[in-house]
Amino acid sequence: MEIINSIVGLGAAVMMPIIFFVVGLIFRLGIGKSFKAGMTVGVGFVGVSMVINLLLDNLGPASKAMVNRLGMHLNVVDVGWPTASTIGWGTPIMAAAVVGFIVINALMLLLKFTKTVNVDIFNYWNFLQVGALVFAVTRNFWFSVAISWVAFAVVLKVADLAAPYIQKQYNLKGISFPHIAGLAWAPIAIVVNWIVDRIPGLRKIEFNAEKIQKKFGAFGEPVVLGFILGLVIGILAGYSPDKALGLSINVAAAMVLLPKMINVLIEGLVTVRDAAEKQLKIWFPKREFYIGMDTALLIGEPSVLATGLLLIPIAIVLSLILPGNSMLPFADLASLTFLLALVTPFVRQNMFKMLIVGTISIIIILYVGSSISPYFAQSAVMANIKLPADFSGIGSMTSAASSWIGWVAVKIGELFNVIV
């Protein structure tokens, strides 16, 4: 357990270069090229993290200001994915679950049940958090571990199925995204796309970053779009003109810089991927493999980022008007763009459909978060996380635990209690 904690504690910027250096050596890329590729991946992660933090550091206070300005008083607070990830890695089932994840991935590859080699170790926390919920419900160690293992295995297979669509949409070869919190919303995207395409009038509505840019010229550029969205959020937050202007410039900077930093990261990935593809064709001439990565690789797409920003005020309004909701959107408001990264390929990059999917997803999250908040809070206590004062429960809007998957996991746990 201490070894696993030490590795995770290194952070993605340190852990990923090591992983890709080792992977490069395994696939005979050579020490020099493996080191350069690993370092390029690390530099890319640092760049992506810097820009994401720039965005979160500016949008976070603005989102909180909107919440405070509306005088929202709900008793379940969204504590954000950083706290949720800490709960996941701190859960009592962590060590057994993580060892199982690695063994399951290896066995599924060996038995040809998956093509995905999941190197996105940090985001194991999402599976751990789901298992932690079940443990809070049942207090049964191995049943909770088993649920997290089942979720992990299913997501590897779903990542395989989604990979061709994602690779085509984002022009990424040999990459998959076994990210349970993102894939959770892909089925909704498929259904929304099917329904909208069969409704006269609505099926003709199509917005994406490229078409907006063509129609509005310079005003459709990501830098200008980011500036406008940032300014609107600043106004809704009640910011003074100078503060709203500062926010809008920072959002515009993120819109421009994030794709560039992601390109640096991809440069390192491509080097290792090409070497892996070449060597695997020699070892396994009739098989295809994917490298499983974090959805942070995708959020720099202008349509994803812009739609994610639009979801912030929508989430706040929904939390106010939905009957029976007790969840307060808060820490994860600035991270809502992560909900859309794996939705985009299934709605053909149409921002109108993405907004519908995002809105439906937020409605589900608010109700699920309200329903399972006591177990979420118990899992935090088990991980020695202090609960915020003045709230009866907690949740996280962008974690798998607060998606429909978390609700199903809790219900399975409750059913287990009845049977046992």
- DSSP bridge pairs for 394: 77
pLDDT of residue 156: 97
pLDDT of residue 218: 56
Distance of CA 299 to the CA centre of its chain: 9
CA-angle at 334, arms to 332 and 335, nearest 5°:
65
Q: Residue 308 in contact with residue 66, Cβ under 8 Å?
A: no
Tokens coding 381: 């206590």
In angstroms, the CA 224 to CA 391 distance is: 39
- DSSP bridge pairs for 395: 78
pLDDT of residue 390: 60
Sign of CA dihedral 346, 347, 351, 355: negative
Q: What single string gives the DSSP state of each residue in 204-247?
A: G----HHHHHHHHGGGGSHHHHHHHHHHHHHHHTT--HHHHHHH
CA-angle at 160, arms to 155 and 163, nearest 5°:
115
In angstroms, the CA 57 to CA 47 distance is: 15
Burial of 380 (0-12, 13-18, 19+ CB in 10 A): buried
Written as tens digits, the pLDDT of the chain (420 aa) is: 555 556 555 555 677 788 778 878 887 888 888 888 888 878 887 887 787 677 767 777 877 787 777 766 678 878 878 778 878 888 889 888 988 998 999 899 999 999 998 877 778 889 999 999 999 999 999 999 999 999 999 999 999 999 999 999 888 888 899 999 999 999 999 999 999 999 998 888 887 766 665 555 555 566 777 788 788 888 878 888 888 898 888 888 877 787 777 778 778 777 877 787 777 778 878 788 898 888 878 887 888 888 888 888 899 889 888 998 988 887 787 788 889 989 999 998 899 999 999 999 999 999 999 999 999 989 988 888 777 666 677 888 999 999 999 999 999 999 999 997
Smallest CA-to-CA distance from 84 within 406, 390, 395 is with 395
Distance of CA 76 to the CA centre of its chain: 21
- Kindly list the domain boundaries of the chain, sorted by start residue: 2-419
Query: What global pTM score does this model have?
Result: 0.81
- DSSP bridge pairs for 292: 118, 176
Residue type, 32: G
